[in-house]
A and B are shown apart, each in its own frame.
Chain A
Amino acid sequence: MRTDRNRLLSAYAVVVYIFLFLPIVILIIFSFNADRRNFNWTGFTLNWYPTLFSNRLILGALGVTLQVAAIAVFASVVLGTFLGLGLARIGRRWRGPLEVLLLLPMVTPEIVMGISLLLFFATLFGGQGSFTQIAIAHITFCVSYVAVIVRARAIGLDPHLEEAGRDLGASAWGTFRHVTMPLLAPAIAAGGMIAFALSFDDLVITSFNAGVGSSTLPLYIYSKIRFGVTPEINAVSTLIVAITGVAIFIAWRLGTFSSSEGRLVAEDG
């Protein structure tokens, strides 16, 4: 009976994964579509890939997007982890207002946040839109997501573990590095992955903070809708998935993901 339940659950999980990847399969297939508008399948062609590599605008936009995402992920993970951890520990007095502060960015409609930053940068700094503005904006909306996830994990952490670390002579930073962080690792990783997805795809907030030479991939893509988003976009997405997939596969083969206990982190009591 146990085995049946396992099988059922496994089958279910596979179905969900198929659901998750279904649009991606279509996306990849249509990167070989001959139709420039890419709405109906008219024939097979490999042309879009070489075209992609000679398209300076797309490549430039992709570069900006990836750089912004890297910065956003790093900074929001750092800020968000500490924020989430602190929020899990903080006393009742400050918890309420801090939770609200944390949730507010997620609650804010994107256009409100985008225009608020536009006004902020334009009025106070004479900002005209720039890479820096985009990066700051992305960090700002990513922090909350990381913090919420880390907090959920940190809430259940046994504080005795950290105390034990301190008792054994570790410094505050040492304790954090060797005790707390490993315990939080899945949450930090999850937060980072979500932050990357959010930053990579952001449109509205970026459109109000981008400037000359700092166009991102979503901005480029959405601007193309009017006359047709060519399969080049499918090609660039396919390549990203492919490269990431290969990197993941290699890391997996190297055993980077496994741990000896089959768990991502140590037991916590």
Chain B
Amino acid sequence: MLGRRLGIGPLILPGAVWLALFFLVPLAFIAAVSFGTHDRFGRVLFDALTLDNYRRAFAPTFIPTISRSIYYAGMTTILSIAIGYPVAFWISRYGGRNKALLLILVMLPFWTSYLIRTYAWMIILRDNGVVNSILHGLGITGEPIILLNTDLAVILGMTYGFLPFAILPLFVSIDRLDEALVSAARDLYANGRSAFIHVILPLTMPGIIAASLLTFIPAIGDYVTPDLLGGAQTTTVAKVVQTLFLSGRDWPQGSALGFILMAVTIIGTFAAVRSLRAEVLS
């Protein structure tokens, strides 16, 4: 045990120090900014510290965008994990010698330019795009269906973008499962479905939680996908924060809203993970 005791400090120290220096300290700058005001040139003033920015962040205008962001992120997480879990399972059980290859193939599409991938989705979803052309060609529709710049396009695009972020951690967890354990579970329970729900799922919970974290959290702050694939009715809070910083030149207000978003996300995530753990493990 002594060995283990000695082990922890040096383990986390480099990473923790790095994050403290290059993340927390800069964040402290922004925290300070969030209590300031801005001048007419967009510079931050610290002479009259105020809570106004936080107060305004709770204004009715921001709430719909926050809830919309949560909705998109939630749908994206659920879909990514639902779609990704069977794939991770398949790679683990049937990948055999090619598991690593199959995983890399999952990531490969994402080592290209994000913008061009999104343009490809636009080519697929736009009014005269692939989907509409097929539907029209098959005689199913007369007028093109508006697919691009809708909630649907945003969720589709986000799910696509976060799928590897779900598949990889899910695989890492599923792959740990002992074959014997799975077989035993199958023998114990009458059908595969029960075995899955009562044994496999709980055992892969760490993976599911990791996948949820890696999907939900960044998805809430995702700015580019809703911006490119979304439209006038899909404004997210990340976009609002962006607009406040840039065209509004109001760094204090942007910072405050950003912090509120972060707080909501962290609290919401912890609550969700805790309840998820409790429910599945019970």
Contact = CB atoms under 8 A, between A and B. Distances in A.
A166 B119 CA distance: 54
Interface in B1-46: 3-4, 6-8, 11-12, 14-16, 18-20, 22-27, 29-30, 33
A229 interface: yes
- With a 10 A CB-CB cut-off, give which of B29, B113, B192, B266 has the most chain A CB atoms: B113
Given A116-B26, A140-B23, A241-B112, 5 more contacts: A9-B90, A20-B160, A23-B109, A115-B30, A119-B29
A106 B169 CA distance: 16
Nearest to B100: A257
B255 A112 contact: yes
A166 B2 CA distance: 11
Contacts of A163: 3-4
Contacts of A152: 169, 172-173, 206-207, 209-210
21 contacts: A9-B89, A20-B160, A23-B117, A27-B112, A27-B119, A83-B14, A101-B20, A107-B220, A107-B262, A108-B258, A109-B258, A116-B30, A119-B33, A120-B22, A145-B165, A148-B214, A152-B210, A190-B171, A193-B168, A248-B105, A257-B99
Interface in A28-85: 30, 38, 78-80, 82-83, 85
Top 10 A-B residue pairs of the complex, sorted by shortest distance between their CB atoms: A83-B15, A86-B12, A23-B120, A86-B11, A116-B26, A258-B97, A120-B26, A152-B210, A257-B100, A237-B112
A144 B218 CA distance: 11
Contact of B111 (A148, A241, A259, A264): A241
A186 B178 CA distance: 16
A112 B108 contact: no
A241 B113 CA distance: 10
Contacts of A144: 19
Contacts of A186: 171-172, 175
A117 B107 contact: no
B77 to A, nearest CB: 13
Contacts of B59: none
Contacts of B242: 109, 111, 204
Contacts of A222: 115
Interface of A is mostly: helix
Nearest to B217: A106
Contacts of A21: 109
Contacts of A79: 14-15, 18
A117 to B, nearest CB: 5
A212 B30 CA distance: 25
Interface in B186-242: 192, 206-207, 209-210, 213-214, 217-218, 220-221, 223-224, 238, 241-242
Contacts of B27: 104, 108, 112-113, 116
A23 B117 CA distance: 6
Interface residues on B, range: 35 or more
Contacts of B116: 27, 221, 229, 233-234, 237
Contacts of A166: 3
B67 to A, nearest CB: 16
Contacts of B81: none
B251 interface: yes
A148 B169 contact: yes
Given A82-B15, A104-B23, A123-B29, A245 B114 contact: no
A203 interface: yes
B241 to A, nearest CB: 5
B135 to A, nearest CB: 17
Given A20-B163, A193-B107, A234-B116, A159 B99 contact: no
A110 B30 CA distance: 13
B115 A190 contact: no
Interface string B240-267: 0110011000010011001001100110
A187 B172 contact: yes
B83 to A, nearest CB: 6
Contacts of A108: 27, 221, 258, 262
A117 B269 contact: no
Interface in A89-110: 89-91, 98, 100-110
Contacts of B123: 26, 30
Contacts of B120: 22-24, 26-27, 30
Given A147-B15, A152-B210, A156-B206, A104 B262 contact: yes
A90 B214 CA distance: 21
